[in-house]
Amino acid sequence: MTGNGSNIKGRIARLLAAASLLAAFSACGTVDRIRGPKEGANTELEARSVAPQDPLARPIQVAWTSARATHCGFVFNPDQLRSNFMAAEARAGASPEQMAKIERAYDYTLQSVASTIKDNLNYCNKDRTAAIRRDLNRYLSGDYTPSARMAQ
């Protein structure tokens, strides 16, 4: 019995050590570096700052605008915007692999930005809603060209 008890204690100790290492790696971003680069913008600031020449600029910017417009109470169908955008990307000749990457970037950005701004009660100020309205109207009309300067 004593041999078995110390064996179990050793396993528990190794398990706790592994859990501690995993927690430490997660906290410093090591897991993300091991897993590979994320696709999409993690925060509202990252979405706003994406370079127009970035291959994922269009899905990031359209998703960013959709999340912001939804948060600020704009009357539009975010699912239809996503569907129309994806159809435009497919018509433009994106391969199935590229479409999968575009969809992941769009969905990740939409969720991340919504999560980032959800508790900001002062987010929808006059200047910001004017910028959102301008971008949203452009996207709803089918113009998904990434803009060089994103509105704050």
For the segment 12-28, what is each residue's pLDDT rounded down to a tens digit? Answer: 655 555 444 444 444 43
Mean of pLDDT values over 46-67: 86
Write the pLDDT tens digit of every residue in 112-137: 999 999 999 999 999 999 999 999 99
Number of residues that make up the chain:
152
Instruction: Tell me which of 45 and 36 has the higher pLDDT.
Output: 45
pLDDT exceeds cutoff 90 at 64: yes
**pLDDT value for 27:** 40
Q: What does the alpha-carbon distance between residue 72 and residue 123 come to, in Å, rounded to a whole number?
A: 8
pLDDT of residue 12: 61
Higher pLDDT, 74 or 2: 74
Q: How far apart, in whole angstroms, are the C-alpha atoms of residue 3 and residue 60?
A: 58
pLDDT score of 10: 62
Q: What are the tens digits of pLDDT across the range 85-95?
A: 999 999 999 99
**If you average pLDDT over residues 34-38, what whole number do you get?**
40
**Domains of the chain, residue spans:** 2-35, 44-140
Place of tokens 């709803």: 140
Residues 6+ apart with CB under 8 A from 84: 142
Instruction: For residues 109 and 65, give the distance between their C-alpha atoms in angstroms, rounded to a whole number.
Output: 10
Of 68, 27, 16, give the one whose Cα is nearest residue 44.
68
Q: What is the mean pLDDT of residues 48-55?
A: 78
